[in-house]
């Protein structure tokens, strides 16, 4: 019988790291991995740890595992296999992309970036100023941390060649309307580059429906190994100057993928699909022929549970006059994801994070590579910055209550 509420205890049994006794609220920095990913990694290293693409059997086996992982994630985000590359990090993927696109820009052309972004989707583009490219900033509201679409309208013009922005800021947590923003960019002939790192673990990605040119996210924040994925439309990738060996000149997407793969980690990505399959079969039974239908069903459960978790915590934060919440404070799943940053009137962020750590509760503090964002929000010391509580679907409501109780105890001391 189909279930309409996520069985969190079932989910948690697949994550070995959850057995360490720590209530883990730093998932935006990197999620835990399910046993299926560990098993896929071990199997690759045990059975076919060699170069793929040769004629011998173990090499062919390796090829199939690597291709399977690529096709899985292409399918998960609505892309074609030749529209994705898997690299070591989103920061490096953006840097390579920036170098690949640079020859298309002339002095005086304009790129729009935000100060809401992780520096990965800002720094590489800002560096192009040395080539005469004009970088314009779409700035956040210094109180709410939100981006105003009306301000974007004033920035876009016939000189705009590229618009870079986050789907969800890893500091602010609020959701930016990707399809609407991409449509605005297209109207002036500009490309779009979207940082989806803080979105990918929480909602289904559909790059075709959103009609973005480039979309990037970190796979180690969606239950995989420390790797990152970059999507690019075929025609957008074709614009990029080759960044690989010269003999890959006419071989996209290898043109924006210099260096070899971390084979065992890429092969392990198929374990993410195994895990989602296990969730579908447990909650809905049998098999749906369409993998997209299966994922949609699972993510509906994930979204419902995460919504309950973030609402409970935000309700608590709103109850305290001494806490400043960054981004939307309502808990509305249509407006934000469960990455929640805040600060306290009379506490340094690092001190609260340490106090919670002493109680076996893991949270982060600082700027989280959103240095410009934290400064724009008025924090003069970004290294102290904000406290960030970030949840995913295996976060239990009991852990949220544990966090609230611990904060109450610390703040009353």
Q: What is the pLDDT of residues 154-212, one digit of tens each?
A: 999 999 999 999 999 999 999 999 999 999 999 999 999 999 999 999 999 999 999 99
Model confidence, pTM: 0.97
User: For the chain, how are helix, strand and coil distributed in percent, rounded to 5?
Assistant: 45, 15, 40
E strand or H helix at 165, and its extent?
strand 160-166
Q: In terms of C-beta density within 10 A (0-12 exposed, 13-18 middle, 19 or more buried), how is residue 250 classed?
A: exposed
Look at residue 1 and tell me whether its pLDDT is greater than 70. no
Q: How far apart are CA 82 and CA 54, in angstroms?
A: 21
Look at residue 81 and tell me whether its pLDDT is greater than 60. yes
pLDDT recorded at residue 220? 98
Look at residue 74 and tell me whether its pLDDT is greater than 80. yes
pLDDT recorded at residue 290? 83
Lookup: tokens for 397: 């409501």
Q: Mean pLDDT over all residues of the chain?
A: 97
Lookup: tokens for 164: 């870079």
Cβ contact 164:124 at 8 Å: no
pLDDT recorded at residue 288? 63
**Across residues 32-41, what is the average pLDDT?**
98
pLDDT recorded at residue 2? 67
pLDDT tens column, 217-274: 999 999 999 999 999 999 999 999 999 999 999 999 999 999 889 999 999 999 999 9
Q: How far apart are CA 200 and CA 105, in angstroms?
A: 30
Cβ contact 195:90 at 8 Å: yes
Give the distance from CA 328 to its chain's centroid.
19
Lookup: tokens for 319: 């109850």
Look at residue 348 and tell me whether its pLDDT is greater than 70. yes
pLDDT tens column, 360-396: 999 999 999 999 999 999 999 999 999 999 999 999 9
**Across residues 25-50, what is the average pLDDT?**
98
Which residues have C-beta within 8 Å of that of residue 80, sequence separation ≥ 6? Answer: 74, 234
Of how many residues is the chain composed? 413
DSSP letter string, 66-112: HHHHHHHHHHHHT--GGGEEEES-HHHHHHHHHHHHGGG--TT-EEE
The partner residues of 86 in beta bridges, in order of sequence, read 229
């Amino acid at each position: 019988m189909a279930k309409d509420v996520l069985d969190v205890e079932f989910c948690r049994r697949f994550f070995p790291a959850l057995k360490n006794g720590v209530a883990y609220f730093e998932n935006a920095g990197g999620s835990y991995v399910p046993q299926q990913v560990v098993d896929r990694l071990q199997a690759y290293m045990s059975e076919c740890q060699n170069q793929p693409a040769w004629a011998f059997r173990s090499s062919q086996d390796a090829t199939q595992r690597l291709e399977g992982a690529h096709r899985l994630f292409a399918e998960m985000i609505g892309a074609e296999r030749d529209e994705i590359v898997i690299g070591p990090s989103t920061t490096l993927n953006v840097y390579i992309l920036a170098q690949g696109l640079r020859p298309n820009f002339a002095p005086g052309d304009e790129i729009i970036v935000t100060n809401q972004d992780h520096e990965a989707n800002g720094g590489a583009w800002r560096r192009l100023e040395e080539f005469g490219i004009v970088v314009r900033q779409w700035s956040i509201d210094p109180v709410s941390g939100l981006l105003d679409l009306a301000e974007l309208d004033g920035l876009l013009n016939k000189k705009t060649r590229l618009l870079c922005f986050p789907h969800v800021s890893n500091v602010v947590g609020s959701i930016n309307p990707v399809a609407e923003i991409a449509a605005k960019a297209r109207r002036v002939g500009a490309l779009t580059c979207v940082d989806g790192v803080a979105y990918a673990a929480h909602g289904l990605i559909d790059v075709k429906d959103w009609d973005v040119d480039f979309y990037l996210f970190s796979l180690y924040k969606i239950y995989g190994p420390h790797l990152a994925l970059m999507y690019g439309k075929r025609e957008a990738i074709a614009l990029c100057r080759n960044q690989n060996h010269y003999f890959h000149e006419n071989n996209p997407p290898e043109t924006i993928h210099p260096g070899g793969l971390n084979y065992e980690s890429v092969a392990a990505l198929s374990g993410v699909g195994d895990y989602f399959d296990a969730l579908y079969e447990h909650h809905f039974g049998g098999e749906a022929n369409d993998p997209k239908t299966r994922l949609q069903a699972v993510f509906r459960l994930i979204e419902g549970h995460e919504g309950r978790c973030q609402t409970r915590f935000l309700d608590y934060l709103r109850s305290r006059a001494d806490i400043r919440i960054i981004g939307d404070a309502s808990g509305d799943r249509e407006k934000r994801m469960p990455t929640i940053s805040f600060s306290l009137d009379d506490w340094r962020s690092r001190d609260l994070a340490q106090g919670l750590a002493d109680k076996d509760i893991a949270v982060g503090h600082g700027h989280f590579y959103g240095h410009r964002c934290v400064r724009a929000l008025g924090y003069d010391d970004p290294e102290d910055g904000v406290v960030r509580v970030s949840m995913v679907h295996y976060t239990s409501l009991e852990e949220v209550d544990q966090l609230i109780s611990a904060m109450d105890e610390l703040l009353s001391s």
